[in-house]
Amino acid sequence: MAGSLEDIPGVGPSTAKKLRDGGYIDIVSIAVAPIAELMERTGLGLETASRVIREAREMTKIDIISAKELYERRKGVLKCTTNSRSLDSLLGGGVETQALTELIGEYGAGKTQICFTLCVTCQLPPERGGLEGGAIYIDTEGTFHPQRVYQIAENMGLDPSSILESITIGRAYTSDHQMLLVESLSSEVDMSRVRLLIVDSVISHFRGEFVGRENLAERQQKLNKHLHTLQRMAEAYNLAVVLTNQAVADPGQFFGNPNKPAGGHVMGHACTHRIWIQKGKQGSRLARVIDSPSLPEGEARFMITERGIEDLEPEG
Ligand code: GTP
Ligand code: MG
């Protein structure tokens, strides 16, 4: 939202400076900030911090709104094409803004390839199914491959250099670093130009660092906090948030799918749409909705090609 921090009632130059130094450069980022975080990052006292957040919320109308306003806001939901009509239709038109879409699958299922494709398609104009915005890619495993994204853009008939320029990469080395990166995005990046936020993979650092039953509660608590930050960003900036998650063995399953998504109930509750990706026949890929409040259960088939992902029969 437009407006400078000094437009917030009661915020003068010195408070504005503290807020900016703490990484809050727009009113939305203040409206959605947890109070303890804002106090820690700005040095403001409890009273000032709560007043500033309250005023920012008032101005952005981010929390208490009427159902009519919510209806209007939901009309602002955009859908981004995946470059596969089949997958788009499974997703109800594409990957949705103001929501968390989770891609679950084993190694090599194609989660990262879908993310690369979305980094390109989100920049397409609306008439080509895009969101006309940039992408942020939080890379936790060092898998972002610019040459591959360049190839996808080129094969879609786009200018690959300008596509790469509109993708911001955040390389996260630990789970704490990953959380901090996401929390500080609004102060580092002009969020009004961004429409897609990817975290690939959202869970690997958490799983790697918090090993054993005794650390599970702490892990889930941190993961929960991280997912809530992502949810706030999706709503505050009208972003499509796409997370990748690993499939892990499910010892409780004797029939059917022997795997389940990592992250337990915390992941299950936070993610709006959960999509399972697996390898199919002759290099094809199969996507299934496993949990979504709005999408019917169904399947989609697609291929990984030089254009990222696309339908098995593009003409079909
Ligand atoms: P993990 O991150 O290991 O859990 O797997 P993932 O689900 O992210 O898999 P990813 O998206 O990396 O898919 C890897 C598969 O994509 C490979 O096995 C290849 O089949 C395919 N692939 C990767 N790059 C290319 C490419 O440039 N061209 C084509 N045609 N296929 C590719
Ligand atoms: Mg991957």
284-312 per-position pLDDT tens digit? 999 999 988 888 888 999 999 999 999 99
Say whether both 34 and 130 belong to one domain.
no
* Integer Cα distance of 134 and 237 in angstroms: 12
**Cα-to-centroid distance, 75 and ligand 2 (Å):** 32
Mean pLDDT of 221-226: 96
143 and 283 belong to one structural domain: yes
Q: Which residues are bridge partners to 156 per DSSP? A: none
Neighbouring-strand partners of residue 301 = 286
Number of domains comprising the chain:
2
Residue 6 placed within a domain = no
* Average pLDDT for 169-196: 94
pLDDT (tens digit, 9 = 90+) per residue, 247-261? Answer: 988 887 777 778 899
CA nearest neighbour of 39 among 22, 26, 55, 56: 22
pLDDT of residue 266: 94
Residues 52, 155 within the same domain = no
131 in the same domain as 106: yes
194-200 vs 284-291, strand pairing mode: unpaired
Q: What spacing in Å lies between the alpha carbon of 81 and ligand 2's midpoint?
A: 20
Residue nearest to atom 23 of ligand 1 (CA): 113
Q: Are residues 204 and 155 in the same domain?
A: yes
User: How does DSSP assign 90-136, residue by residue?
Assistant: HTTSSEETTEEEEEEE-TTSSHHHHHHHHHHHTTS-GGGT--S-EEE
Report the predicted TM-score, pTM, of the whole model to 2 decimal places.
0.89
Could you tell me if 81 and 130 are in contact, meaning their C-beta atoms sit under 8 angstroms apart? yes
Provide the CATH number for the domain around residue 258. 3.40.50.300
Which residue did the predictor score with more confidence, 1 or 67?
67
Domain that holds residue 92: 74-311
100 and 171 assigned to the same domain: yes
Q: 284 and 206 in one domain?
A: yes
At 240, is the secondary structure helix, strand, or coil? strand
**Residue of 227, 216, 225 lying closest to 272 (CA atoms):** 227
Residue 1 lies in a domain: no
* Ligand 1 proximity of 110 Cβ (cutoff 6 Å): yes
Q: Whose CA is nearest to atom 21 of ligand 1?
A: 304
Element (H, E) at 235: helix 216-236
Q: What is the pLDDT of residues 257-279, one digit of tens each?
A: 788 999 999 999 999 999 999 99
